Amino acid sequence: MEHPTNHSAADKHLDRRWLKRQIGVWRSLALVALTVLATVLALRYIDGGPSDGFSTGPHIARLSIDGVIGTDSELLSRIDKLSKNSDVVAVILRLNSPGGTYAGSEALYNALRTLAEAKPTVAVIDGVAASGAYMAAIATDRIFARAGSITGSIGVIMQMPNIKGLMDHIGVGYEAIRSAPLKATPTPFEDTSAASRVAAQDIVQDLFDQFVERVKERRTLAATALDIVTSGRVFTGKQAMPLGLIDALGGETEATGWLEQHAEIAAGTRVFDAKSKDEAIQFRDLIERIGGTRFFGTQPMLDGPLAVWQSTI
């Protein structure tokens, strides 16, 4: 029979080991929390200023548009705040986007036009600014692009898969009771009728005409150049220059130089990123930077006509 004193000593020893393990776990969690907090605070001061871009003192705000464009109320609000912030003396719009929904691109264009009327605003095309992103670029006072940047793709597209053949093959039927023949058409579940195709083409053509009118209003293009650039194709920055799609080759250095020379911006004015003040968004960005993109959907749902360039490479 085990002595009670020895049993009690063993229990105390196990309790101490358990307590040490718990302290170790909590220390590890605290260290992780402090690391995340320190990283978020550090991100707020990248480029010498807070991440919202609304620092004290005159500065140039860098507004970045990345990925597919949709209707983004937070982005539109941020642009509005830039136009009203007296510390922001100019804005550099950095673009790296294939475009997106037509409505989202139109909303972004209108917001940028209001901004450009309040502050000198220039666009810098990074990797790509095509279709709806090019619409955003022409809202600014001047467009810069690198020789190897991709731009253009002035056009509109409506598309959907047609799975009727697959449904017929596996024996799945589809029925729709409509108030009129063109209601909810075209649909991927049946062949597109001639009338439905005409109606869809009318929508695409109307939106395309609106796009072209914006290009004609904002860019001085010869008739021959206009025919070329509205064919829907993309161009390199080097090709876009003689066509009048962009104003100059270069990046942010050339853009700030132009602002200093033509917009009376003091030489050496610092450039700060204009990011969201929302700490939740900052934390999401942080998680995505360290490989957490699988937890957040990065491909938005695209509903409606698109002004987007889709590479088939």
How far does CA 111 lie from the centroid of its chain?
A: 15
Rounded (5°) CA angle 227-229-233: 120
The 8-class DSSP code of residue 58 comes to: S
Q: Which helix (H) or strand (E) holds 63?
A: strand 59-66
What is the rounded CA–CA span in Å between residue 171 and residue 84? 60
User: Annotated catalytic, 131?
Assistant: yes
Find out whether 282 and 40 touch, Cβ atoms under 8 Å.
yes
**Tokens 């598309």 sit at which residue?**
159
Find the length of the chain.
313
The four Cα atoms 278, 284, 289, 291 give a dihedral, to 10 degrees, of 180
Find out whether 248 and 234 touch, Cβ atoms under 8 Å.
no
User: Annotated catalytic, 12?
Assistant: no
- Active-site residue identified among 51, 55, 97, 131: 131
What is the rounded CA–CA span in Å between residue 189 and residue 191? 7
Burial of 117 (0-12, 13-18, 19+ CB in 10 A): exposed
Phi, psi of 199 (to 5 degrees): -65, -45
Q: Which helix (H) or strand (E) holds 88?
A: strand 88-97
The 8-class DSSP code of residue 179 comes to: S
- Residue 297's nearest CA partner among 63, 131, 74, 68 is 68
- Active-site residue identified among 12, 20, 84, 183: 183
The 8-class DSSP code of residue 188 comes to: T
**Residues that are catalytic:** 131, 183
